[in-house]
Chains A and B, each alone.
Chain A
Amino acid sequence: MLEFFHTLLFSTLEAAPPLVFAAVGASLCERAGVVNVGVEGMMRAGAFAAAAAALVMPTPLGVVVGALAGASLAAVHGLLCIRLRSDQVVSGMALNLVMLALGTFLLEAVFHSSSGSTPITQLSRLSLGSIDAVPLLGALFNHSALTYLAVLAPLLAHWALKHTRWGLRVRAVGEQPQAVAAVGIPVGTLRFSAVLLSGALAGVGGAVLSTATLDHFEHHMPSGLGFMAVAAMVFGRWTPLGAAGAATFFALADSLRIGLASSAPSLAQLVPGGVQLALPYALTLLVLAVQGQRGGAPAALGQSFDLERR
């Protein structure tokens, strides 16, 4: 039994970081009033760029490149949504479609493969030797540094939103952009900063997949995790801590599903795997249906800001 929980804790800490980074990033973006359904594409950009960069530089630097790739895609999103006032959902979905095809194209063009990139040195894992074997406590170790960063990221994001001037302003442009503009703060620049940060976090989330979870980019990455991150953000009521909590919960549920399938197959068969896989999304829908209304979404979410309009 203890061993079961040890494995569960360990695999949750492995599965959660990509979702946590992406969901926290999405919450920052949407808090600033910009819808981000392009998380999937930004994660894909990060996963590919990190795996490709890690071939020619140390893997940790590769992760930074992954973050930059996510931020670059976010810059396009910002340009479209903020400067050109395009529809934010259209922009996000367009970037998803571009990255879906571009990832496959680059995989073929750079690695001459349609399945995966050349293996790289995986991120090293923090091991404390004999402590790793201690039940439960040991499960906290032997993860890559990104797992520990994923614990810090939501706390930092929460602090930044709640206790810094930038955070107050970001929350304000998500609720009342006209009021922010009225006191002379540039709405577009503020929103852009949140969008870029969101893209960088999604990029790191993708990089976790290709540098820590695996040692290469797989053609289907991130296979829907970006959308699950959006679900987690909604579930977490558009706050960094809530988003991270929901993301961890989803990761835990997934680890539990895999754990039960191997350790207690008869128990796992009670609920078919596909039904369990559908649960995070169904639960998010259920919570929204019960909460009703906008479920805590920022008031100006999805509206492009036009100084001349009220």
Chain B
Amino acid sequence: MKNRLLAIAPSVLAVALAMLLGFVVVALTKGVSEAAGAFASMFAGAFGEPSRVDELGVFAFLRPWGESATKATLLTLTGLSVAVAFRVGLFNIGAQGQLVVGALVAALAGAHLALPAGLHAVVALGLAAVAGGAWASLAAWLKVRRGVHEVISTIMLNWVALRLVEGWLVPGPARAQVEGNNSINGTDQVLPGAELPNLFGESSRLNAGFLLAVGVALALLFFLQRSVRGFEWKVAGLNPHAAKAAGVPLERTVVQAMAVAGACAGLAGAVLVLGTEHRYPGTISAPWGFDGIAMALLGQGHPLGVLASAVWFGALRAGGTRLQLAGIHKSFPELIQGVALVLVAARAAWERLLARAVRRA
């Protein structure tokens, strides 16, 4: 138990310190009481407002939590994408591109296939996962066959996907066909039968995508910790030479892991489209795929760690919109997230300090 606590300590400390730094920055620019007020409203927007229970009833909690979980869903899926690739020692910077590809496929499948409700959503999700996986497999193929480092290939694939989808397909061939109306950006609306159902009806945007994300996290947890294949991946990531000597097919491992990573990111795109946007919008403005890198590292590559950091930062982001009232841009939680990531990157220093403290205790 003590070991587990020690293992998550660097991440928790990094997040706490990043929050503190964020507070200090706001306090320096706006004053201490304003900073306290801004943080209070951010937490209220993230976790609910006990003081307004009389007025709003259960919605005082439902609405903020719903919004938090909606954001956490995407962060979880892209975080898992990066984390899975990490397991075999690959750095998947391409989650953003895989997400974009998945989102487009989900939007097209959701709008243009004729299938019974429910099944339609499942098929659209499945196709998006396959598309994301296929896109990521390009990077795996380049690595295995041509020795191209996956960091470079996934960066390039991100931009190829983004330019092709948002620069050509969405404003061009895939654009919504509405008679006499050219003002609509993005693709056709997905059919109602392909939409992911809302969990709390009209009161929140939270949809079944959240359950899917949690399900994927648990499935990956089981796969990585309990299955033979999962063990092979772990060995391949920790020591490729030992893995090869033990008969683990390294190349197959790389391709499979990258495909699963791409599928997770593709699912994130599908959930974004089928759950909240209901079409591929003109642009996907948020860098969910890059945020996934932060989630994977803060969660230390563990599916539950990814889930935990995604829920925390999803909540802060949901609360971030409230900061606008205090004259702070709503991307402030992303700044906290970035600083936390820098601090986690400096883990070596943390671990040295912690080890010293533990030895003394």
Residues of A participating in the B interface, judged by any CB pair closer than 8 Å: 35, 37, 76, 79-80, 84-87, 89-91, 93-102, 104-105, 107-109, 112, 114, 224, 227-228, 230-231, 234, 272-275, 277-278, 280-282, 284-285, 288-289, 291-295, 297
Contact = CB atoms under 8 A, between A and B. Distances in A.
A282 B155 CA distance: 11
A79 B249 CA distance: 37
Given A97-B338, A108-B327, A230-B155, A86 B346 contact: yes
Contacts of B338: 94-95, 97-102
Interface stretch (B191-199, B258-266, B328-336): B328-336
Contact of A224 (B146, B157, B159, B339): B159
18 contacts: A89-B91, A90-B297, A94-B344, A97-B338, A98-B335, A101-B332, A101-B335, A101-B338, A102-B338, A105-B328, A107-B329, A227-B159, A230-B155, A274-B164, A275-B163, A278-B159, A278-B167, A289-B146
B74 to A, nearest CB: 15
Nearest to A93: B293
Contacts of B93: 37, 89, 93
Contact of A97 (B151, B156, B291): B291
Given A86-B347, A93-B290, A278-B163, A272 B156 contact: no
A104 B331 contact: yes
A268 B67 CA distance: 43
Interface string B190-210: 000000000000000000000
A105 B160 contact: no
Interface residues of B, number: 50
Given A105-B328, A227-B159, A278-B167, A94 B153 contact: no
A18 to B, nearest CB: 16
Give the most central of B163, B167, B297: most A CB within 10 Å.
B163
Nearest to A289: B146
A242 to B, nearest CB: 15
A285 B156 contact: yes
B357 to A, nearest CB: 18
Given A84-B349, A107-B329, A288 B167 contact: no
A274 B156 contact: no
Contacts of A97: 287, 290-291, 293-294, 334, 337-338, 341
B26 to A, nearest CB: 9
Interface in B138-166: 142, 146-149, 151-153, 155-160, 163-166
A224 B290 CA distance: 13
Given A87-B345, A98-B342, A281-B160, A292 B147 contact: yes
B345 A91 contact: yes
B349 to A, nearest CB: 5
B160 A278 contact: yes
B223 interface: no
B166 A282 contact: no
B164 A231 contact: no
A101 B163 contact: no
A93 B153 CA distance: 15
Give the most central of A95, A114, A274: most B CB within 10 Å.
A274
Contacts of B342: 76, 80, 91, 94-95, 98
Contacts of A224: 159
Contacts of B332: 101, 105
A108 B328 contact: yes
A289 B142 contact: yes
B329 A104 contact: yes
Contacts of B13: none
B29 interface: yes
A159 to B, nearest CB: 27
